[in-house]
Structure 1
Amino acid sequence: MNFSGSYRSGDVSFLLKPLVMQDFVDVEQKEKLIQSGKRHYSEMLSPESLPSARYLDVFRQACDANLARMARDCLALAGLITARRSGAITLVSLARAGTPVGVVLKHLLARVMQREVAHYSVSIIRDRGIDQVALEHILAQGHAPESIVFVDGWTGKGVISRELEAAIEEFNARRGTCIDGGLYVLSDLAGTAACAASCDDYLIPSSILNATVSGLVSRSILNDAIGPNDFHGCVYYEQFEAQDQSQRFADELVDLAMAMAPLQGEPAPMDKALAASVSRAYMQAALATHGITDVNMVKPGIGEATRVLLRRSPRLLIVRERDSVDVAHLVLLAQEKNIPVLVDPALPYHAVSLIRSALDG
């Protein structure tokens, strides 16, 4: 089944199987199961809650500060895609951080670049790869393999971009196709994306919220409820419809980008090598400084740090400037959850979150 979540039907087709979830796992129990190796993170889902009034205020402040930047980067990314693809374009956004970006890109490619474009959102899971049933479905709709462009919001350590490349390489070898496994993002902190509008760690407003800015769709699920011919699963948060921001957020971005389009110049060249070098050096230092052996316990950049504070068990929030508007939501979440905040002026990112070891009790 494909559906559009809370977006208009023409904006996206989620290639996900809606599940009725009654056995949510609380965050603490989920963390113990993941870290002990008893369950993979994709097999479980913790319940989402609506953001508090204070947190929504922070989201609106983030939009005031950076929505224009995000719109400009979406327009730049649409231009980069146009330059690298001839003919029709098939956007495949990675659920769920890539979905809002894909929705905006679909409008810009069609309305500014005058390109024929379709948009699907599919699941990709660390250590499990991309949803191959979804890829087969896209090809079965008649989309040319060379028209596919994979889209996400950002890179953190580059885990998903590497996962994507490996999965698509295997898919191409098995199917004899020539799909480009490169990832297209707004911000490439790890220097691992094929194409990016920026390498800056800035607050992408959609990173602040969960389902209510991503079509009311949960993080993707891959467990016993998913058969061999099923798409990966998700939960649709129907109960959040009155508080949903998804369509309005995307429409506002499109309007901003459309107004900028006549004045848009060439995007500045990205220094991927520098971004990759900074990423490697920071990760090596962070592991040594904080006595961590598992790289998955360190989440660099605003987007990844936000995910930890929202749905994992954080141990520590590290920020470069405590009073920066870009980290206001993180500081608020840390206060609400009694998580210590460390200020490190030498931090190469605005924020980093460390996940608490389940062995800490």
Structure 2
Amino acid sequence: MRITTQNRFTSMGSYPVDDVTFLLKDLSEVMIEKGTEDREEAIQSGVHYSEMLPIEYQPSPEYMNLYHQSLNEYSSKLAVAVGVVAEQIAESKGEQVVLVSLARAGTPIGILIKRYLSFALGISVPHYSVSIIRGRGIDTNAISFIKNQHPEGKIQFVDGWTGKGAITRELNSSCKQIKDEYGFDIDEKLAVLADPGYCAHIYGTREDFLIPSACLNSTVSGLISRTVLNKDYIQEGDFHGAKYYSHLENEDVSNDFIDRIVSEFPKVTQIIQDKLSCVKQSYSLPKWTGLDNVKKIQKEFGIENVNMIKPGVGETTRVLLRRVPWKILVKDKNDERLKHIILLAEDRGVPIVEYQNMSYACCGLIKTIRR
């Protein structure tokens, strides 16, 4: 059954309107989540992951304490990474930049970059959040909307971190398709805070460190669900869809997260410049080291589908929050960056295996479900 709802722009999400415009169709009243096991079985049976939503993980008080601890520990480091990325974007595209974050993990990062550009350089730039889906591409209706609004603007895509580079490849392919179909010549280079997969052109660091927003789902991303592309809800001309979780408003830390990192900017101004200089001196183009690591893991563990391997702290966190994990590989069980990974794995009874033959701090392996 095809259901018609209304496209919503600035009114969706719990962020202030000035921070971000979500180009998403509101499915709050119609989309039904599936349980983790049922969703995993459906995905492995051929249903595309974007056609369903997982049930949002409800973090325990212990886990929220860990989130706040990680925020205390990494807020300065995260602010430095934001500044390093923002400075590179400004140098490359100046005041014509239009930030386009990839929903939903990229959204808070895009807001932080926008805030830094205003703080450090006095530049006010537009910021949109759009959907990109592995295997289906970026939302071309959203990109067309942006180009019509900002015909002279220079789009800069933003995300939080890289894994094995699936989204990077999807973005490259989508930009080529957009040029062929619409004639828009868009820079496909992705900007991320952490690039342990060595597949982004603009990065704050290539260290696989914990970005605290990866610990949570919607409650640190404006109460927005994962994005949805399901023909029962999304018609031709619509933006990709998402759900607003109003029932989680009392648990929302989205704006607290932004304010906490922004408050660090004045304290790390010189560190940002020093780190920026180091990044420029040691800069290298993407060499896809992470993908090579993943292929080795795939062979050693006899995994048929490479999509069942999710490398890096951010992706491993996601596996534990919304997939059915088989094993968690960690480079060092005593790595302080992995406290939340260990806690989540133990909470779900997932085996933790020490595996040193990778550039990532950890890697999540998804369980194969056959019924």
- TM-score band by shorter chain is over 0.9
Alignment-derived partner of residue 167 in structure 1:
174
The answer on 1:186 being equivalent to 2:198 is no
1:317-359 Cα shifts (integer Å, max 9, x gaps): 1112223221111111111111111122444221100000012
Q: 1:27 aligns with which of 32, 36, 47?
A: 36
Aligned-partner residue type, residue 320 of structure 2: L
In 2, Cα distance between equivalents of 1:138 and 1:94: 14
In 1, Cα distance between equivalents of 2:191 and 2:253: 24
Q: How does 1:318-337 map to 2 (within 5 A)?
A: 318-337=329-348
Q: 1:115 aligns with which of 123, 131, 139?
A: 123
Q: 2:155 aligns with which of 132, 148, 156?
A: 148
Distance 1:274 1:218, change over 3 A: closer
Alignment-derived partner of residue 361 in structure 2:
350
Aligned-partner residue type, residue 54 of structure 1: E
Alignment-derived partner of residue 300 in structure 1:
311
Q: 1:48 aligns with which of 56, 72, 79?
A: 56
Q: CA deviation at 1:22?
A: 5.1
**CA contact under 8 A between 2:331 and 2:360: conserved in structure 1?**
yes
1:162-183 Cα shifts (integer Å, max 9, x gaps): 1001101110222222210111
Alignment-derived partner of residue 315 in structure 1:
326
1:20-59 Cα shifts (integer Å, max 9, x gaps): 245321111111111121x100000111132110100111
Q: Give SS of 1:48's match.
A: coil
Question: Which ranges in structure 1 are unaligned for 5 or more consecutive residues?
Answer: none
Distance 1:275 1:318, change over 3 A: farther
Q: CA deviation at 1:272?
A: 4.2
The answer on 1:338 being equivalent to 2:349 is yes
In 1, Cα distance between equivalents of 2:189 and 2:261: 24
In 2, Cα distance between equivalents of 1:23 and 1:215: 19
**CA contact under 8 A between 1:88 and 1:116: conserved in structure 2?**
no
What is the total number of aligned residue pairs between the two structures? 357
Identity %: 39
In 2, Cα distance between equivalents of 1:64 and 1:116: 28
Q: Which stretch of the first structure deviates more once superposed, 283-292 or 68-77?
A: 283-292
In 1, Cα distance between equivalents of 2:246 and 2:155: 30
Q: Give SS of 1:179's match.
A: coil
Distance 1:48 1:9, change over 3 A: same
In 1, Cα distance between equivalents of 2:311 and 2:38: 24
Q: CA deviation at 1:5?
A: 0.8
Alignment-derived partner of residue 281 in structure 1:
292
The answer on 1:199 being equivalent to 2:212 is no
The answer on 1:210 being equivalent to 2:217 is yes
Q: Give SS of 1:34's match.
A: helix
Aligned-partner residue type, residue 198 of structure 1: T
In 2, Cα distance between equivalents of 1:244 and 1:285: 39
**CA contact under 8 A between 1:189 and 1:275: conserved in structure 2?**
no
Alignment-derived partner of residue 89 in structure 1:
97
Alignment-derived partner of residue 68 in structure 2:
60
Q: Give SS of 2:128's match.
A: strand
RMSD between superposed Cα atoms in Å: 1.6
Alignment-derived partner of residue 2 in structure 1:
9
**CA contact under 8 A between 1:157 and 1:299: conserved in structure 2?**
yes
TM-score by length of 1: 0.95
Q: CA deviation at 1:274?
A: 8.0
The answer on 1:72 being equivalent to 2:80 is yes
1:291-322 Cα shifts (integer Å, max 9, x gaps): 11211011110001011000011000111222
Q: 2:241 aligns with which of 220, 225, 233?
A: 233
**CA contact under 8 A between 1:129 and 1:163: conserved in structure 2?**
yes
Q: Which stretch of the first structure deviates more once superposed, 328-337 or 296-305?
A: 328-337
Question: Which ranges in structure 2 are unaligned for 5 or more consecutive residues?
Answer: 1-7
In 2, Cα distance between equivalents of 1:214 and 1:249: 9
Q: Give SS of 1:123's match.
A: strand
Q: Give SS of 2:177's match.
A: helix
The answer on 1:260 being equivalent to 2:268 is yes
Alignment-derived partner of residue 138 in structure 1:
146
